[in-house]
Amino acid sequence: MRVEVLTDRPAERFTVGARLHREGSTSTLTIVEARPANPGWVLRFGEIPTREAAESLRLAYLEVEAGPADALPRGAYFWHEMIGVEVREASVTHLAPPDEVRASFDAVTQAQTEMRTRLYGAEQEAGRSLQAAEADGYRQKQLALAYAGEKKTLARAEADSFLKRLEGYRRMRASNPDALAAIWWDEMGRLFAGLREGGRVDLLDRHLGTDGLDITTIVPPKKK
Find out whether 195 and 184 touch, Cβ atoms under 8 Å: no
Last residue of some domain: 66, 84, 115? 66
Mean pLDDT for the stretch of residues 140-157: 94
Note the pLDDT tens digit of each residue in 12-34. Answer: 889 999 999 898 888 899 999 99
**Ramachandran area for residue 68 (φ above 0: left; ψ -120 to 50: alpha; else beta):** alpha
* pLDDT(177) > 80: no
Note the pLDDT tens digit of each residue in 98-137. Answer: 777 788 888 888 888 899 899 999 999 999 999 999 999 9
Range of the domain at 30: 2-66
Asked whether residue 216 is assigned to any structural domain, the reply reads no
DSSP 90: -
169 pLDDT tier (thresholds 50, 70, 90): confident
pTM, to two decimals: 0.36
Q: Tell me the sheet residues that pair with 212.
A: 209
Q: Within the chain, how many helices (H) and strands (E) appear?
A: 4, 7
Asked whether residue 80 is assigned to any structural domain, the reply reads no
User: Do 173 and 100 reside in the same domain of the chain?
Assistant: yes
Return the pLDDT at 129. Answer: 93
User: Do 181 and 103 reside in the same domain of the chain?
Assistant: yes
The share of the chain scoring above pLDDT 90, in percent, equals 30
Asked whether residue 82 is assigned to any structural domain, the reply reads no
User: Do 110 and 41 reside in the same domain of the chain?
Assistant: no
User: Do 100 and 167 reside in the same domain of the chain?
Assistant: yes
